[in-house]
Amino acid sequence: MNIETPPPDSGEPPKWKGDSSATEEDRCWSNEKKIQDARVSADVRWARVYGIVAVVFLVVLSLLFLSALVVWAAHYLLPMDRHWLTEGQLSKLQSVISGGGLGSVLSILVQRQLSK
């Protein structure tokens, strides 16, 4: 496969000429430390965003689990005339609480966050 490459002094601007990141990298090409610092900075930003998203996801799942547990417990603890859930709804709620699926997801997320 033969790919034609224009000579360096062809007069055509490179395709990346309008890209500010590429221009900055080209300007700093001789300064390797500055390029590595930019990469580290991008990695730190990604880790920070990932951490925030993971914590928000963990909080939302925890709140859903706790609210399901509170609703289920309140239904059984209140007097009989205050019961509002049908047997089918109770069954689904109990399967969510005791099924382990939600708990295992929460456990995995907590373990990942604690191991960092």
Q: How many domains does the chain have?
A: 1
Q: What is the pLDDT of residue 19?
A: 76
In a domain, 9, yes or no: no
Which of the residues in the chain have pLDDT under 50? none
Exposure on the CB side of residue 62, measured as CA atoms within 13 A:
11
Q: What is the pLDDT of residue 7?
A: 61
Q: What is the pLDDT of residue 84?
A: 87
In a domain, 95, yes or no: yes
Identify the helix (H) or strand (E) that includes residue 5: none
Q: What is the pLDDT of residue 96?
A: 77
In a domain, 5, yes or no: no
Q: What is the pLDDT of residue 101?
A: 67
Domain containing 55: what range? 20-114
Q: What is the pLDDT of residue 100?
A: 66
pTM above the 0.85 mark?
Answer: no
In a domain, 31, yes or no: yes
Residues 6+ apart with CB under 8 A from 75: 83, 84, 85, 90
